[in-house]
Chain A
Amino acid sequence: MIETHDLSKQFHDFWAVDGVNLSVQSGQILALLGQNGAGKTTTVRMLTALLSPTRGWARVAGYDVVKNGRDVRASIGVLTEQHGLYMRMSANEYLEFFGQVYELSPQLRKSRSNQLLEYFGLAEAAHRRIGEYSKGMRQKLALARAMMHDPGVLLLDEPTSAMDPESARLVRDEIARLKSSKRTVVICSHNLVEVEELADQIGIIYRGKILTLGTLEELKLRVLGAPEYEVKFAQDWDSSRLELPAGVELLARTANSVQVRVERPQASNLEILNRLSAMSAPVMALQEQPRTLEQVYLKVMAEAKGYANVH
């Protein structure tokens, strides 16, 4: 698990990370979103015990990143922004080397290496020089390296950035498996669809500060407001006679539809349907308006930039 309190990092006069508070439990995935240079990599590097915090603290896998740097590094797997592969080595040699660095037994090194290469579809190319690999193959090998010692915490920077859809699916499935096997995962990504699919918590970071943090539903509610629903009628129907229950706000009305914002959908949606039924309205569907993480992200960023421009 990962816990941070007021985690901050200053480079000369510039605060790259400023007061980050996180709590990611075992079996959870946290996604950090933000522009390039927002502070994601610096945060990850502090969690990796590569950078020491200027202020605040962080505990990773139960170890303090300042006092127990070596233990932290032994307990985590890191996929860095640059793959960090030795081009003149083969995949087998590469994984063998990192297996030795993590002090795995020879048997375990061999079995883990074979298992990971097999899973990521690299077994046939295992003896080829990494320099001959495609971008996607390199990305998969780097991920295999991060998982070689079966760490309890994984910090993954853009895990599927260079991959074809098939490989990306493979990696997402593996991340989901890690979650179900109680691993703690932090992903830094610009792929919002992937984050929506995988993350339990999402943090949007801007100029070193976490602007908002929570589950996807919490973020939608917090940023975009209460969910929006559309009632569709099978034919034109005068909806002006419809009285909306308390906590329901009318957004738009057309000849064959009504759009509303509902504070408490569990209670209010049924009430709306009951009232429409009592009025013999030709209701065809009541459906939630799709609201994506992209909308959340863009709105948060727009507000942050607006605020930054004013101040």
Chain B
Amino acid sequence: MFTKLNLVWIVAGRELRDQMRDWRVLAPMAILVFCFPLLMNEFAKQTVDFLNQYNANLILERLVPFSIMIIGFFPITVSLVVALESFVGEKERGTIEPLLSSPLEDWQLYFGKLLVGVATPLIASYLSIGLYMLLAMRQELNMPPPLIMFQLLLLTGAHAFLMVSAAIVISVQSTSVKAANLLASFIVIPVAILMQGEAVMLFWGNEQVLWLAIAGVTIIALLLIRVGIAHFHREYLLGREIDVVNVRWIWRTFWSSFIGGATSLKEWYGRVLGSALRRAVPAMLVLLLVSGVSVWLGYDWIMKNAAQAIKMASPEDIASITERVQEVPDLRTFSESISAPFLFLNNSRAVLFIFALGTVSFSVLGVLLYMVNIGLIGGLFGLFQLIGLNAWPLFIAGVLPHGVFELPALLIGSAAMLYFGANMVTPQVGKSMGEVILELLADWTKIFLGLVLPLLAIAALIETYITPSLLIAALQ
């Protein structure tokens, strides 16, 4: 095992030495590492003077941690070029073939590159942070407590890990350095947005929330590494020579997988859709389990938090809530105020949104959104219990009739998304990443068009025309 790991180190060592001799990498990194903390320090000084005029203590207290987060981020974006170049750069320079022809195994090559890709930005980031800390201490700014400091360093590491993992996936799949650099925006921009969220957590949240952010970013990074290794094929690395969007091939691959050789709608439903559903069965079982957990979490959260909120609410707040409850449309005229097409489109959009979030996060965010949707049922149960109502008759009359169709549609649609994400991180022998994505997309489309949409259509009709009458009966 040590010998095998040693080869990872050898690949990384060569790459690192090579990068450290390239002034195009070194110069911008050095400028950022040494100049940015100085700029940030100057900015902090001005901000402190300004904030002191308004006694904005919270912002003052969190200024240094926030600055550390920003300072850590910039060197990563610049040194990302090391990871982006790792495979495609070698391919362009013609140095990849001797490496691929050597006895190095795929994972040794991949982790060797990953190690350098992560180490370079981390060294730059930590140097930059260290320098800023020295300057901030001289300014006698409020320094973060050790735990927050530790979390910030971890978070910076997780950012580097996430961005580099994504950059290496791009490097393996790109056909030119130019294309890889263009695609890098899809890493930098989402991480910049993520950091804005983290900054909000930092200012108004607590350490617990930061731990969650660290865990979330690390999980996505690990999944990206898994995706990278799953789709690392020496053959495709050498085979792809030029960037050409082959629309005909894309359409043909998708369509042949979507149709699956069926000659009639009946055959398509029976054989093609049937087999796509069978493939998604494990994902359905997992989501069934997740559903149970979500309902319990929703119930538990309401029982713990809503009761306290009700106790703490002022008479004005309670009056406002009552007023809003009265604004709920009259159930007898429900079909006039909310139409079946509206419900159908709304629910379809929810399934599509779950899929969209799932595809960009290897199912993680999609599953979280599914959990929120299902968790609402548990929450409603809890809420009814808190206000002294028996939830079961309401559930049976108000949710179950259309829920019999809507909930399975949500479960199956989300399971198709989970199946998509899980297969993205699973090695697929003899298929390029493009083929895998197109076939998975075809499977998801089959399930969405063939089953989810019809179920949602039936659910919308029942919810509009049947559920209100049943609910009125139950309430009476």
Residues of A within 8 A of B (CB): 11-12, 45, 48, 50-52, 70-71, 73-74, 76, 78, 80, 82-89, 93, 97-98, 100-103, 142, 145
A52 cross-chain contacts in B, Cβ below 8 A: 235, 430
Beta-carbon contact of B18 and A86 below 8 Å: yes
Beta-carbon contact of B100 and A101 below 8 Å: no
Chain B nearest CB from A117 CB (Å) reads: 17
Some 26 contacts from A to B, beta carbons below 8 A apart, are A50-B97, A50-B100, A50-B101, A50-B234, A52-B235, A73-B102, A78-B98, A80-B94, A80-B101, A84-B96, A84-B99, A85-B95, A86-B14, A86-B18, A86-B95, A88-B18, A88-B21, A88-B22, A89-B14, A89-B17, A89-B18, A97-B10, A101-B7, A102-B103, A103-B3, A145-B98
Q: 9 extra interchain contacts, Cβ-Cβ under 8 A, other than A50-B234, A88-B21, A103-B103?
A: A50-B235, A70-B103, A71-B103, A80-B101, A84-B94, A86-B18, A89-B18, A98-B102, A102-B102
* Contacts known (A80-B98, A101-B7, A103-B3); A11 close to B239, Cβ less than 8 A: yes
B310 cross-chain contacts in A, Cβ below 8 A: none
Beta-carbon contact of A70 and B14 below 8 Å: no
Which one of A78, A84, A88, A100 has the highest number of Cβ atoms from chain B below 10 Å of its Cβ? A84
User: Does any Cβ of A come within 8 Å of B42's Cβ?
Assistant: no
Q: Which of A12, A73, A74, A101 contacts B10 (CB 8 A)?
A: A101
Please give me the residue from chain B that is nearest to A45 by CB atom.
B238
Q: Which of B14, B93, B101 contacts A76 (CB 8 A)?
A: B101
User: Does any Cβ of A come within 8 Å of B317's Cβ?
Assistant: no
* Contacts known (A11-B239, A45-B238, A84-B95); A101 close to B102, Cβ less than 8 A: yes
Chain A nearest CB from B418 CB (Å) reads: 31
Per the bound structure, the CA–CA distance linking A83 and B93 in Å amounts to 10
Beta-carbon contact of B97 and A80 below 8 Å: yes
Beta-carbon contact of A98 and B98 below 8 Å: yes
B1-42 interface code vs A (CB 8 A; 1 in, 0 out): 001000100110010011001100000000000000000000
* Contacts known (A51-B238, A88-B22); A100 close to B101, Cβ less than 8 A: no
Which one of B14, B17, B94, B102 has the highest number of Cβ atoms from chain A below 10 Å of its Cβ? B102
Beta-carbon contact of A97 and B14 below 8 Å: yes
B3 cross-chain contacts in A, Cβ below 8 A: 103
Per the bound structure, the CA–CA distance linking A86 and B94 in Å amounts to 9
Per the bound structure, the CA–CA distance linking A73 and B109 in Å amounts to 14
Residues of B within 8 A of A (CB): 3, 7, 10-11, 14, 17-18, 21-22, 93-105, 234-235, 238-239, 249, 430
Per the bound structure, the CA–CA distance linking A280 and B10 in Å amounts to 79
Beta-carbon contact of A51 and B235 below 8 Å: yes
Q: Which of A45, A71, A84, A88 contacts B98 (CB 8 A)?
A: A84
A98 cross-chain contacts in B, Cβ below 8 A: 98, 102
Q: Which of B18, B94, B102 contacts A82 (CB 8 A)?
A: B94
B430 cross-chain contacts in A, Cβ below 8 A: 52
A142 cross-chain contacts in B, Cβ below 8 A: 98
Per the bound structure, the CA–CA distance linking A64 and B93 in Å amounts to 30
Please give me the residue from chain A that is nearest to B21 by CB atom.
A88
Per the bound structure, the CA–CA distance linking A97 and B16 in Å amounts to 13
Beta-carbon contact of A73 and B97 below 8 Å: no
Per the bound structure, the CA–CA distance linking A56 and B245 in Å amounts to 31
A103 cross-chain contacts in B, Cβ below 8 A: 3, 7, 103
Chain A nearest CB from B177 CB (Å) reads: 15
Chain B nearest CB from A67 CB (Å) reads: 13
The 3 closest A-B pairs by CB, nearest first: A82-B94, A74-B103, A84-B98
Chain B nearest CB from A185 CB (Å) reads: 16
Please give me the residue from chain B that is nearest to A46 by CB atom.
B235
Please give me the residue from chain B that is nearest to A71 by CB atom.
B103
Q: Which of B103, B104, B238 contacts A50 (CB 8 A)?
A: B238
Per the bound structure, the CA–CA distance linking A82 and B93 in Å amounts to 9
B104 cross-chain contacts in A, Cβ below 8 A: 101
Beta-carbon contact of A73 and B22 below 8 Å: no
Beta-carbon contact of B10 and A84 below 8 Å: no
Per the bound structure, the CA–CA distance linking A98 and B238 in Å amounts to 20
B7 cross-chain contacts in A, Cβ below 8 A: 100-101, 103
Q: Which of B17, B96, B105 contacts A70 (CB 8 A)?
A: B105
Chain A nearest CB from B38 CB (Å) reads: 31
Please give me the residue from chain A that is nearest to B96 by CB atom.
A84
A73 cross-chain contacts in B, Cβ below 8 A: 101-103
Per the bound structure, the CA–CA distance linking A103 and B11 in Å amounts to 12
Beta-carbon contact of A78 and B101 below 8 Å: yes
Per the bound structure, the CA–CA distance linking A89 and B102 in Å amounts to 18
* Contacts known (A83-B94, A84-B94); A51 close to B239, Cβ less than 8 A: yes
Chain A nearest CB from B105 CB (Å) reads: 6
B96 cross-chain contacts in A, Cβ below 8 A: 84
Chain B nearest CB from A146 CB (Å) reads: 8
Please give me the residue from chain A that is nearest to B100 by CB atom.
A50
Per the bound structure, the CA–CA distance linking A93 and B18 in Å amounts to 11
B11 cross-chain contacts in A, Cβ below 8 A: 101
Per the bound structure, the CA–CA distance linking A88 and B95 in Å amounts to 12
A48 cross-chain contacts in B, Cβ below 8 A: 101
Q: Which of A12, A71, A82, A101 contacts B97 (CB 8 A)?
A: A82
Please give me the residue from chain B that is nearest to A12 by CB atom.
B249
Per the bound structure, the CA–CA distance linking A74 and B7 in Å amounts to 14
Please give me the residue from chain A that is nearest to B105 by CB atom.
A70
Chain A nearest CB from B188 CB (Å) reads: 27
Please give me the residue from chain B that is nearest to A129 by CB atom.
B21
Please give me the residue from chain A that is nearest to B3 by CB atom.
A103
A70 cross-chain contacts in B, Cβ below 8 A: 103, 105
Per the bound structure, the CA–CA distance linking A145 and B99 in Å amounts to 11
Per the bound structure, the CA–CA distance linking A11 and B36 in Å amounts to 49
Per the bound structure, the CA–CA distance linking A102 and B7 in Å amounts to 9
Q: Which of B97, B105, B235 contacts A84 (CB 8 A)?
A: B97
Which one of B7, B11, B234, B249 has the highest number of Cβ atoms from chain A below 10 Å of its Cβ? B234
B239 cross-chain contacts in A, Cβ below 8 A: 11, 51
Please give me the residue from chain B that is nearest to A155 by CB atom.
B101
Chain B nearest CB from A8 CB (Å) reads: 15
Per the bound structure, the CA–CA distance linking A71 and B102 in Å amounts to 10
Per the bound structure, the CA–CA distance linking A132 and B2 in Å amounts to 36
Chain A nearest CB from B93 CB (Å) reads: 8
Please give me the residue from chain B that is nearest to A142 by CB atom.
B98
Chain A nearest CB from B296 CB (Å) reads: 49
A11 cross-chain contacts in B, Cβ below 8 A: 239
B93 cross-chain contacts in A, Cβ below 8 A: 87
Per the bound structure, the CA–CA distance linking A83 and B95 in Å amounts to 7
Chain B nearest CB from A37 CB (Å) reads: 12
Per the bound structure, the CA–CA distance linking A48 and B10 in Å amounts to 22
B105 cross-chain contacts in A, Cβ below 8 A: 70
Please give me the residue from chain A that is nearest to B429 by CB atom.
A52
